[in-house]
């Protein structure tokens, strides 16, 4: 397969309500292997999956979208639209624009929730699903911690300061080397007109989340059960404060063929570059 110098193509499309949305595409669109779609966490963007997408693109096409309000996608003036139903509609549009029929959805955190929801809203689109430190049940304390972080933009003078800030907020994120930390920080910030580094997402995302957690969290188990006949790999960070060990065990009970892997020395969420995660993904995807 001929490789482009930068290994990807940046693409844009319009949501049904006119937001300019971005996705990054790797690999050969004509590959006979099932394509993969990588969906990031709440504030994350397509760059998080760069190393994984490069590996997977040796065999299959990989599509990595930025949800609205993240990365290179446009922000929504109406923060009420930062909700799963709208994201799912954007993904339906992406499947049509990118001419995808069925895909392996690799979803981290919110991305995994969207993968489960696709089992209800667009089941024919799912070839398989990877749930990365996510599932139908969450620890409220972990969600509250994330909301506090998402809803603020504390400009940083440089990458070193940004890295220290992130490490202070997420002390148990993982045992990562300096290169991984620098990449994570670069993906989380962009330079603003003032020359300082600002978060690379719309901080209004927190408003929808705050409304969500004021009452009981929605029951996501029906979404998970919709994957009954779909191959699923579930990964959980051993230090995760978002997906509890008890919830992970219940997922295995609900779906006996679920492949469960605990990723050592990492919290929420694994980067998928950890040896445990990489090995599990390689084995899971081998025959898909």
pLDDT digit string (tens) for 176-198? 566 777 788 889 999 999 999 99
Strands 8-14, 20-26: pairing is antiparallel
Helix, strand or coil for residue 108?
strand
pTM of the predicted protein model:
0.93
Residue 194 lies in a domain: no
Percent of the chain residues topping a pLDDT of 90:
73
Residue 107 lies in a domain: yes
The answer to whether the CB of 21 falls within 8 A of the CB of 65 is yes
Q: What is the pLDDT of residue 215?
A: 66
Percent of the chain residues topping a pLDDT of 70:
94
Q: How far is CA 58 from the centre of its chain?
A: 21
- pLDDT tier for residue 145 given thresholds of 50, 70 and 90: confident
CATH number at residue 20: 3.40.50.1820
The answer to whether the CB of 282 falls within 8 A of the CB of 268 is no
Q: What is the pLDDT of residue 174?
A: 58
Residue 46 lies in a domain: yes
Q: What is the pLDDT of residue 164?
A: 81
Find the domain containing 22 and state its range.
8-139+220-285
For residue 1, pLDDT over 60 is answered with no
Nearest one of 40, 131, 127, 50 to 87, comparing CA atoms: 40
> Mean pLDDT lowest for which of 142-146, 223-227, 250-254, 273-277?
142-146
Residue located via tokens 């490490």: 167
- pLDDT tier for residue 165 given thresholds of 50, 70 and 90: confident
Q: What's the whole-number mean pLDDT along residues 112-120?
A: 97
Residue 168 lies in a domain: no
For residue 172, pLDDT over 70 is answered with no
> Mean pLDDT lowest for which of 101-110, 137-146, 189-198?
137-146
Q: What is the pLDDT of residue 173?
A: 64
Residue 162 lies in a domain: no
Q: What is the pLDDT of residue 5?
A: 44
SS3 assignment for 117-146 = HHHHHCHHHEEEEEEECCCCCCCHHHHHHH
pLDDT digit string (tens) for 6-50? 689 999 999 999 999 999 999 999 999 999 999 999 999 999 999
Residue 186 lies in a domain: no
Residue 236 lies in a domain: yes
Residue 156 lies in a domain: no
Element (H, E) at 105: strand 103-108
For residue 121, pLDDT over 50 is answered with yes
How many domains does the chain fold into?
A: 1
pLDDT digit string (tens) for 263-278? 998 888 999 999 999 9
- pLDDT tier for residue 162 given thresholds of 50, 70 and 90: confident
For residue 2, pLDDT over 50 is answered with no
Q: What's the whole-number mean pLDDT along residues 197-217?
A: 83
Q: What's the whole-number mean pLDDT along residues 141-148?
A: 76
C-alpha to C-alpha distance for 66 and 214, rounded to whole angstroms: 27
Q: What is the pLDDT of residue 151?
A: 85
Q: Give me the sign of the Cα torsion angle 230, 231, 237, 238.
A: positive
Q: What's the whole-number mean pLDDT along residues 239-246?
A: 92
For residue 3, pLDDT over 60 is answered with no
C-alpha to C-alpha distance for 151 and 107, rounded to whole angstroms: 22
């Amino acid at each position: 397969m001929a490789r482009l110098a930068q290994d990807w193509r940046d693409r844009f499309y319009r949501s049904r309500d006119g937001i300019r949305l971005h996705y990054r595409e790797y690999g050969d669109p004509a590959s006979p292997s099932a394509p993969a779609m990588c969906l990031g966490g709440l504030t994350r963007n397509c760059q998080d999956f760069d190393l994984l997408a490069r590996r997977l693109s040796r065999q299959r096409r990989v599509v990595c979208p930025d949800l609205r309000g993240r990365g290179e996608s446009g922000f929504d003036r109406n923060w009420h639209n930062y909700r799963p139903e709208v994201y799912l509609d954007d993904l339906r549009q992406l499947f049509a624009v990118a001419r995808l029929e069925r895909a392996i959805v690799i979803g981290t955190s919110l991305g995994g929730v969207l993968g489960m929801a696709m089992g209800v809203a667009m089941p024919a689109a799912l070839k398989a699903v990877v749930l990365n430190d996510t599932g139908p049940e969450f620890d409220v304390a972990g969600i509250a911690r994330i909301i506090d972080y998402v809803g603020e933009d504390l400009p940083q003078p440089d990458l070193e300061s940004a890295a220290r800030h992130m490490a202070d907020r997420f002390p148990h994120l993982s045992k990562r080397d300096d290169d991984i930390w620098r990449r994570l920080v670069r993906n989380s910030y962009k330079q603003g007109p003032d020359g300082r580094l600002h978060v690379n997402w719309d901080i209004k995302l927190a408003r929808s989340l705050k409304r969500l957690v004021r009452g009981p969290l929605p029951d996501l188990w029906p979404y998970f059960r919709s994957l009954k006949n779909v191959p699923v790999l579930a990964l959980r960070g051993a230090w995760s404060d978002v997906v509890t060990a008890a919830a992970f065990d219940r997922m295995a009970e609900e779906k006996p063929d679920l492949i469960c892997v605990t990723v050592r020395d990492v919290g929420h969420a694994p980067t998928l570059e950890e040896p445990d995660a990489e090995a599990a993904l390689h084995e899971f995807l081998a025959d898909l």
